[in-house]
Amino acid sequence: MAVATILFLLGATTALKYDPVLPFHGNGFTVSRIPLPKNPQPMSDLKVAEHVVPLKRGNAKSLSSTYVQAMRGRKLADAGGGRLGTGQAQLTSVEAGQVFLAPVTVGGQEFEVVVDTGSSDPWLVVPTFECYDPYTGDPRDQGECYFGPAYNPSLSSNYQRVPNENFNITLGGITVPRQKFGTVDYAAWFGDGYSSGLIGFAYGTLTSAYQGEDPTQDRRGGTLLYNPLFVNMYNQSLIAPIFALAIDRDPNNGGLLALGGIPDIPHSPYWVSTPIESVGFFIGTRTPAYEFYTIESDGFAFSAFDSAQFDVQGTNNPRKTPIIEAGSVIIDSGTSLVYAPPAVAEGVNLAFDPPGRFDEDYGAWYVDCNAQPPVFGVSVEKKIFYVNGADMIIPSAQDVCISGVQSNNGGLTILGDVWMKNVISVFDIGAEMMRFAAREYYTMDEAPVPVTT
C-alpha cells in the first residue's frame, strides 16, 4: 500500500495531473448524501477538553468554499444570470472563505497545517513537489502554490516509506505513533504562505491512499482505507471520539479546536443534539471528492423588530413570527457567510435599516456599512441560535459592505462562520451527532481563550 505519495489536488486524488481539478458550474458534478457507518455509540460526555489547539486564521481560499461556490455558480448559471465564477466581483474575496491553521509536529519537525472538516487525509508537501494551476491543470512555479516550509523526510526522526511506516504526529499535545500520512508530490493548491499541508477531520472513508508508487495510475474508487489522524486518536483511546470548534470573531485570531471535549469558554448551559447527515460532492465517480457535515434545521428566524417572538413550535400563533425554510443545512467553518434559501436571504436583507440591495450582476446582497441589522437566527431541534449583529455586516472594500446572509440560489444551505462564531459546534463522531450551545455574547476585543488554573 502506498500512502507516502498521494497526488493531492484540491482535496482529491486524480489520475491525470494535468487536467483541471477545480470544480465549477460547467463541470459535471453531483451532490448527494453519503451513508454513515450506522453503528453509533452513546453520546460522549461534554467535558472540558485537556487538549485544545489555538487556531490561526489564514488568508487563502478554503477547499470547502471552492465546492460551495461551484454549487452556487451552477444554480445561478442554470437560472441564466449572475457572474459567479468569473472571479471579478468584490464579493469573491469574502466568498473564498478562509482557512484555519493548527501547529503539528511530524517526525520531530514542526509545521502549520490547514484543519479541514471535509477531507480525511493528513498530508505534507515535500521540497520537490510540482505545482499546477487548479483551474487549468497547467504547470506553475512552486511559489504559486504558496505553501509554507516543506516536509523533508531525510530530517525526520522516524520516517519510513510504506508498508513499514513509523510516523509520529503530535497535535494538541496528543502524539499518535505510527500514523500514516501523505507526502505530496503534485499539488494544485490555494496556499496562505504558512501552512505546509492539511489534517482532515471527515470520516475515514474519504481517505485517498492508492496502491503502488505511480500516482498517474491512481483511479477514483480504487483507494485503500487506513485510519486518519483523528480516527487513530479515539481508536487508540487517547481521547473521546469528538472534537469541537469555537470560531473567533476577532479577525486576528482563528478560534479554538478542542480534541476529545469542548473548549473552556463561556457558553449557554443548554445543548441541543441532532443527527449528522453527511453530504458528498462527487465529480464523475462513485467516490466523493469532498464531504460536508450536514444536519436538519427547523428553519430560519428573522425580523426587523428586536421584540419579535418566533413560532418555533409551529403553532400558527398569530402573535408570533413564523420561522421558514426548514431543511438540510451544511455546517462549514471554511465558508465565511451564511447561504440561505432565496426567500430567507431576501427577507433578511430587506429587514436591514436601511434595506439591503441586491446586485443582479453579481448575484449578491449589499448593505450599508452602518446599517442596523435585523434579528436573525437558525432553529435546530426547536432552539434558535441567534447571530450577533456584529457578524451580519461584512466589509468587502473601502466603504462597501456585503450582507452576512446571501442566497444559495436554490442549492444547498450553508451555515458558515457568520453563524458559527455564535455557537460552540461539537462533532460527536462516535454517536454520529452534532451538538450546539450558544456562545456568551462577546465583542471583537474579547477573544475566547482557554481558562487556565
pLDDT, position 312: 95
| String of DSSP letters for 142-185 | GGGG---SPP-GGG-SS---TTS----EEETTEEETT---EEEE
Q: How far apart are CA 117 and CA 418, in angstroms?
A: 17
- When pLDDT is cut at 50, 70 and 90, the band that residue 19 belongs to is very low
Q: Are 380 and 295 in contact (CB under 8 A)?
A: yes
pLDDT, position 277: 86
pLDDT of 451 strictly over 60 = no
Looking at the chain, how many residues does it have?
453
pLDDT of 293 strictly over 60 = yes
User: Any bridge partners for residue 33, and if so which?
Assistant: 279
Selection from 50-59, 195-204, 205-214, 390-399 with the highest mean pLDDT: 50-59
pLDDT of 91 strictly over 80 = no
Q: End-to-end CA distance of the chain, in Å? A: 46
pTM of the shown model: 0.83
Q: pLDDT, tens digit, for every residue of 179-224?
A: 888 888 888 888 889 999 988 887 765 545 444 455 455 455 555 5
CATH topology of domain 20-438: Cathepsin D, subunit A; domain 1 (2.40.70)
pLDDT of 296 strictly over 80 = yes
The structural domains of the chain, with segments of one domain joined by +, span 20-438
pLDDT, position 395: 87
Residue 145 phi, psi dihedral angles, 5° rounding? -85, -15
- When pLDDT is cut at 50, 70 and 90, the band that residue 76 belongs to is low
User: Any bridge partners for residue 411, and if so which?
Assistant: none
Q: Is the model more confident about 375 or about 75?
A: 375
- When pLDDT is cut at 50, 70 and 90, the band that residue 396 belongs to is confident
CA distances in angstroms from 345 to 231, 332, 356, 363, listed in the order given? 37, 18, 10, 11
pLDDT, position 23: 43
pLDDT, position 346: 98
- When pLDDT is cut at 50, 70 and 90, the band that residue 321 belongs to is very high
pLDDT, position 35: 67
Among 62, 352, 351, which residue's Cα sits nearest to residue 198? 62
Which grid coordinates belong to 371?
A: 446599517
Backbone CA torsion sign across 136, 140, 142, 147? negative
Q: Are 53 and 102 in contact (CB under 8 A)?
A: yes
Q: What are the residues whose beta carbons fall under 8 Å from the beta carbon of 175, sequence distance 6 or more?
A: 105, 168, 169
pLDDT of 342 strictly over 90 = yes
In 3-state terms, what secondary structure has residue 293? strand
Average pLDDT of the residues in 268-296: 79
Q: Are 263 and 426 in contact (CB under 8 A)?
A: no
Q: Please enumerate, as own/partner, the contacts of 357-361 that have beta carbons within 8 Å and a separation of 24 or more.
A: 360/81, 360/82, 361/82, 361/83, 361/89
Q: How far apart are CA 151 and CA 156, in angstroms?
A: 8
Could you list the active site residues?
116, 332
pLDDT, position 287: 60
Among 43, 67, 146, 54, which residue's Cα sits nearest to residue 101? 54
Is omega for the bond preceding 35 within 30 degrees of 0, making it cis?
no
Residue 347 phi, psi dihedral angles, 5° rounding? -60, -45
Average pLDDT of the residues in 302-331: 94
- When pLDDT is cut at 50, 70 and 90, the band that residue 152 belongs to is confident
Average pLDDT of the residues in 328-356: 94
Cβ neighbour number for residue 411 with a 10 Å cutoff: 19
pLDDT, position 260: 96
